[in-house]
A = this chain, B = another copy of it.
Amino acid sequence: MKQRQTGIFIGRFQPFHLGHLETVKFALERVKHLYIVVGSSQKSHEFKNPFTAGERILMIRNTLNAERVDPSRYLIIPVPDATGHAVWTAFIDQVVPKYEVVFSSDRLTLQLYKEKGVPTIEPPLLDRPKFSATEVRKRIIEGGKWKALVPLSVVRIIDPIIAKGRFDGLE
């Protein structure tokens, strides 16, 4: 594949975990600039989406700073859900500068871009059953060991949120 200038990495990051961090590094080896899209930005306080977009943006920024990723090479951009799947990439294009390749592990996202003829890359996944946001949320709810699955900067953001009761009785 030829070197592309600009890429986009799309996820919900509920929460941002070590697998996401690997994907950011993987993508930054392949493109010069990366837009990290925080999807479903309007959602929070529910089982599948416990964290606000503000909290998720902070998770990503603090982690990448701690990892000494050059902050001039990426931007973090929240995008709310569209009114229908068929217009979702247009919603992204409205708020994200031009890009040439899409990194995502989400089947629907990959399909929508394939139908538009935009190149997509599915990054190799770390040990999937473990490094998935679903697994992290499950462990938090069940009181399991979740901290090894996310960067330390993320632990520091999630801990006080748990303490304030966000995960009690989520639906």
Residues in chain A within 8 A of chain B (CB atoms)? 41-46, 52-55, 57-58, 61, 65, 71-72, 75-78, 80, 83-87, 89-91, 93-98, 107-108, 111-112, 114-115, 164-166, 168-171
Copies of this chain, count:
6
Q: A95 near B53 (CB under 8 angstroms)?
A: yes
Distance of A80 Cα from B98 Cα, bound (Å): 19
Q: Which residues of B contact A108 (CB under 8 A)?
A: 45-46, 169-171
* B contact residues around A86 at 8 Å (CB): 42, 44-45, 52, 90, 93-94
Looking across the interface, which residue of chain B has its beta carbon closest to that of A92? Answer: B54
CB-CB nearest in chain B for A76: B75
> Is the pair B61, A96 in contact by a Cβ cutoff of 8 Å?
no
A114/B171 contact (C-beta < 8 A), A42-B83, A45-B85 known: no
Check if B77 sits within 8 Å of A57, measured CB to CB: yes
A171–B108 Cα gap in the complex (Å)? 8
